[in-house]
Amino acid sequence: DAKTTQPPSMDCAEGRAANLPCNHSTISGNEYVYWYRQIHSQGPQYIIHGLKNNETNEMASLIITEDRKSSTLILPHATLRDTAVYYCIVRVATAAGNKLTFGGGTRVLVKP
């Protein structure tokens, strides 16, 4: 699986949009971009994933650049409960290559 690079930490204000960047310059054509988050002392929670088109769900939006070498996770209105470590992972979504390899992630602190 391709490696990803994320900033180690970022702060954002409650109620504002939080934009979390991720670089994956070595991503290959059949690798998806996945985002998970981990709230302290809990298991990771799936947020969103995409291949090349932008995606949106009830939790977040995922913007993938045209060359697919980077992406941004957008939390539209951050709340205090969004404080967590956010992991960007790229992987092939096939039966054989389904394991997730976690990098360091971005530690997001939402402040009132």
Partner 1 sequence: GAVVSQHPSWVICKSGTSVKIECRSLDFQATTMFWYRQFPKQSLMLMATSNEGSKATYEQGVEKDKFLINHASLTLSTLTVTSAHPEDSSFYICSARIRGAGELFFGEGSRLTVL
Q: Is residue 44 within the footprint of partner 1 (CB under 8 A)?
A: yes
Question: Which residue type sits at 78?
Answer: A
Q: State in angstroms the smallest separation of the CB of 44 from partner 1.
A: 5
DSSP 44-70: -EEEEEESSS-EE-SS-EEEE-TTSSE
User: By C-beta, is 42 or 53 nearer to partner 1?
Assistant: 42
Q: Which residue has the tokens 């996945």?
A: 34
Per rule CB under 8 A, is residue 32 in the interface with partner 1? yes
81 sits near partner 1 (criterion: CB under 8 A): no
Q: Check the CA dihedral 1-32-41-72 and report its sign.
A: positive
Rounded-to-integer distance, Cα 109 and Cα 112, Å: 10
Q: Does 100 sit near partner 1 (CB under 8 A)?
A: yes
- Residue from 105, 106, 108, 110 binding partner 1 (CB under 8 A): 105
- Can residue 93 be called a binding residue for partner 1 (CB under 8 A)? yes
Binding site for partner 1 (CB under 8 A): 32, 34, 36, 38, 41-46, 49, 87, 93, 95, 98-105
